[in-house]
Each structure stands twice: as C-alpha cells, then as structure tokens.
A and B are shown apart, each in its own frame.
Chain A
Amino acid sequence: MSAMAPDALAARVQAVFPQVSTFQSENGEPWLAVPAADLRGVARLLRDDPSLACDALMDLTAFDLKGHPTVPPSDDIAVVLLLFSLRHRHKVRIEVRAPRAACSVPSVSELWPAAIYFEREVFDLFGVTFEGHASLRRIMTPDDWFGHPLRKDYVYPSEYHGVAHLREGQRFEGGPNRGAAGAGGVA
C-alpha cells in the first residue's frame, strides 16, 4: 500500500465528518481542524479505517493562541495531534481548539496509549482537561503547583514552599511577571 495523497485523505475524513475543515500544512501534510466534540470519532476513523490506518500517535502537544496573529483573533488553547501510519507512511495533523476558560478536550488515550503521558503533560503545562483520561495528574511540576506555566498569561511564582525564587537582591529588568511573595506561586 502507498501513502494517501493529502487531498484524498482529507476527503475521506470529510466524507464521514463534514464538519471537519481541512487545510494543508506548510510541509504539505494534511491538517484537520476538528471540533472538540468530534475528536474521538475522527481519531477512531483515522486509526481504524484500513485506508487511513494511523496506528501511531507521534505527538500530542498544545499551544496558546493568545497574542498569536491568527484570524479571527482568539485566546483559545489549541491541542495538536500528530498521527503517522506505519502501514501507509503518511502523516496527519489534527488541531482541536478549547476555550481558555472551560478548557476541555476528549481524551484519545484509549485509542493510543502513548497519549497517556502526552495528555498529562499538556494538562500540566496548559491546563487542558482531557475527559476520559484515567489518571490526569501533573507530570512535570510538583503536585501542589499553581497555574499552568506555558500559558501566555501565566504569573510566575515568587516562591515555592517558602523558598524564594530569586536570590537576595536579585532583580531582572524586563523579567517575567512574578506574583507577590507569599501570595502567588503555590496553591
């Protein structure tokens, strides 16, 4: 079998899920913008359809659209899945947007177990809740950390467990916005 052309691949997904809009990435790979409600269905189709057969989840990450020159302007968190078909040697990129306030996306960890750690990382650093994840805990920062560091409006902690972040007399011009001592940082 050979790799599916990007247009054919997108058309195959759109035939089942017409609400999915398709683009092409700059590197020529298909890019599917999927509504959060349809993510699990689209993911299952991509994994189980014999002509698509995306059996490997290469990466699951996210980025913050706040301040991004996107049209129309948005402050959503975009979750990105990079899929690869070992059988057909083609790649697909899925993008799901979640509103900043109620940041929730269905989990794909039941389809690709590799997503278990990826989703924990995205949850930790971007604050995206993955519904259906068996054990959605922080993975990088300590369990009692406050906030999600890779969000663009993140307020840096000034201390952790009573240990100040900066050294005595240490000041940085143009440094990050740090919470007041004792107030921000840890919950």
Chain B
Amino acid sequence: MTEPAGPTGLPPSGGCKPGNRQDEQIHLTAVDEFLAWGKENSLFYLLFATACCGIELMQAGGPRYDVDRLGMIPRATPRQSDLMIVAGTITHKMAERVRLLYDQMTEPRWVVSMGSCANSGGPFSKWSYSVLNGIDKHVPVDVYIPGCPPRPEALIDGVMALRERVRKYRTLGIRETTPHVVAGAGCDFGAHPGKSGIVIAQQQPPEGKA
C-alpha cells in the first residue's frame, strides 16, 4: 500500500475494515509497512562529525531545529545507529575508520553524505594529498546534501528525502540490494545501479537571514 500516513502519524491503514474506528486503537496493516513506519520514525543517527559540517549537525540537533522531533536521537555507538551522517572532510586515513564504523552498524543502515567535502572532496579536491574526494568511494551513500556547510534546513531536507527511501524499505519482502562492499575495491557507488544516491537541491537561506 502506498497510502501516506494519516495526519495522526499512524501507519497506513492497509487492511483496515470499514467498521473499525480509530479510537478503538486497532489498526490493521502489513508487517512490512509497519516495520518501515517504525524505522522511518526512529532514525537513530551516529554522533559523528569530522569538520565544520558537524557544527551544523549539532545545530540541527539543538532546540531551534530539533531533529529529535523526527525521532532522530543521536547514539554514541554505531551498533545502536541506523543512520550515519558523514559530516565533514574525510581523509584517506579517516575513510578507513568510517568504513569500520559503517561495518559495525546493523542492517538496515543508511548513509547521508553531508556537505561538499564528503560529497566530492570540496575545496580540498584539487590541491590536497590526503583528502578523499568523496566518501562514496568507501561506503554506499543514500543521500547527498550539497553545501559548504549545508544549513540545518538542508540537512533536514536530506533527512526527509531519506525517510522516503526508508518508507519503501521492506524487511520481509523484496528489498533493494545493498552491494556488499570491500573497502579498497575502488568502486564508485555514486554510479552503482542498485544503490544510486539522491542529490538534494541546494537550499537558499530564507530572505534576510543570509
């Protein structure tokens, strides 16, 4: 069922009988949809940042933008995380640690590449000997967010795009194949047919708030 969640945020009422009223607190749905609904609304993210994008990530977690309201709780360990937000410059040395953290996350897992550095090396792509030109060379990326750094609104926009993807994830049914990646294989996941990333449009700051 592709019916969107109702205004109450409850799962789509897949097989709900017409006679059932909501205040009876009985909802019939497919298990897969229910699980996807749960995952979508509890995207725990790994508390992990490497550069100035991390400041925007912290701001997004702060009271003004408050991603907690989306069910996004920062976790201090990859083993409890569903989502890794790669916020900042990744060097070749760090990239292998990022891969290690990714490997420690339990499936299903998602990756958001936040900011120009994580997307493509950003300002370091030409003259740096140590910075990796894009984290998608090491881990498969679901959503790319441009910006240097992106504002918290852009991050939240990226998370909303990721939620679309999470909503379609089927735990029991046929799932999107996640390529098993060996670090150092030199794959470019941005071009992988089974796991192509979404690119979020650049957000403009609101009027008068540049």
Contact = CB atoms under 8 A, between A and B. Distances in A.
Interface of A: 140-142, 149, 154, 156-157, 159-168, 170, 172, 175-176
B134 interface: yes
Given A167-B133, A176-B127, 20 more contacts: A142-B93, A149-B130, A154-B129, A156-B129, A157-B129, A162-B184, A162-B185, A163-B95, A163-B138, A163-B183, A163-B186, A164-B137, A166-B125, A167-B134, A167-B188, A168-B191, A170-B133, A172-B125, A175-B126, A176-B129
A121 to B, nearest CB: 14
Interface of B: 92-93, 95-96, 120-121, 125-127, 129-130, 132-134, 137-138, 183-186, 188, 191
Nearest to A155: B129
A163 B184 CA distance: 5
Q: Interface on chain B toward A: helix, strand, loop, or mixed SS?
A: loop
A162 B184 CA distance: 5
Given A175-B126, A175-B127, A176-B127, A166 B133 contact: yes
A172 B188 contact: no
Contact of B96 (A149, A161, A170): A161
Nearest to A176: B127
Contacts of A165: 92, 132-133
B127 A161 contact: no
